[in-house]
Every structure is written in structure tokens, then in C-alpha cells.
Amino acid sequence: MHTTDTLAPPPGFCAHDRKSPLTDPWEPLFARKTDRAVVLGLRAGPAHANSRGFVHGGLIGALADNAMGLSCARTTGHAGGFVTGAWCGDPECEAKVKAETKATIRYVPLEAKDPGAPCVVCGRPGVDEATWAIAY
């Protein structure tokens, strides 16, 4: 009798090491990495299917988004990620960060965690805590 270990990576793949709450229910996910791309894969089963038994388009879209971001990071050399810091609220400070790093503000919480902390750009008192990231 032949059985397939559905938890083991297929040939050429390894376990995908970038976990997220969105993709946790779809595990195990697998990755094949080259110098220019990250290819993601999974062994599709009922947990990945829509009501007609096909792999759900939302799953495919989410994994494509994940793979494209990781591939862009490999190609451009940017590690990606998010940076959080105090921001004075001045659009000129936001523009300066963008000009120097290509990162733009992705998130500002409804309530600042540390109001008055010095802006990471100009040093004036911060009014918000901003999270910057580079879009791919």
C-alpha cells in the first residue's frame, strides 16, 4: 500500500517559514526559493475548497499576494517589513521618509500610544505613532 505524507514538502520545496494568522488554517504551506522568486504551494484538500470543490479564489489570491511580495523582496534586496515610530503629523516629514526610503505610512492608530514622543524625522513632539512600509 502506498501513502503520501501530506505534511512533508514535495521535492524541491521546504516548509514555508513566513507564518500569518490568515494562512495558518491552510498549513502546511510549502516554499521553493530561487534567487529571483519564492514559489508557494500546498496540497489542496477540502479545507481549501469552495462549495463546488474547487480551490477557493481567495486562497489563491492571498498566496499569490504573499509570493509576489516575497519575490519582489528577493529581487530588489529589500527585506520588507514595517517600522513604527512617532510622527509629528507634518506631511513634509512623511514625504522626507518616502524620498529617503520609499516607505509610506501604512497605519496610524486611532489613539497614539506615546503622544509627545519626538517625531522620528524632525524631533518635534509627535501626535501619532505611524507605521511605515514599502509597497511592492
Q: Give me the residues that bind Zn ion (CB under 5 A), please.
A: 88, 90, 93, 119, 121-122
Nearer to Zn ion, 39 or 105 (CB): 105
- For 135, the grid coordinates are 509597497
Nearer to Zn ion, 31 or 130 (CB): 130
Smallest gap from Cβ 96 to Zn ion, in A, equals 8
Nearer to Zn ion, 67 or 90 (CB): 90
- For 60, the grid coordinates are 489563491
List the one residue out of 13, 20, 14 whose CA is nearest residue 63.
20
Nearer to Zn ion, 31 or 128 (CB): 128
Q: Report d(CA 26, CA 21) in Å as an integer.
A: 10
Smallest gap from Cβ 122 to Zn ion, in A, equals 3
Smallest gap from Cβ 130 to Zn ion, in A, equals 10
Q: What are phi and psi of 15, to 5 degrees?
A: -65, 135
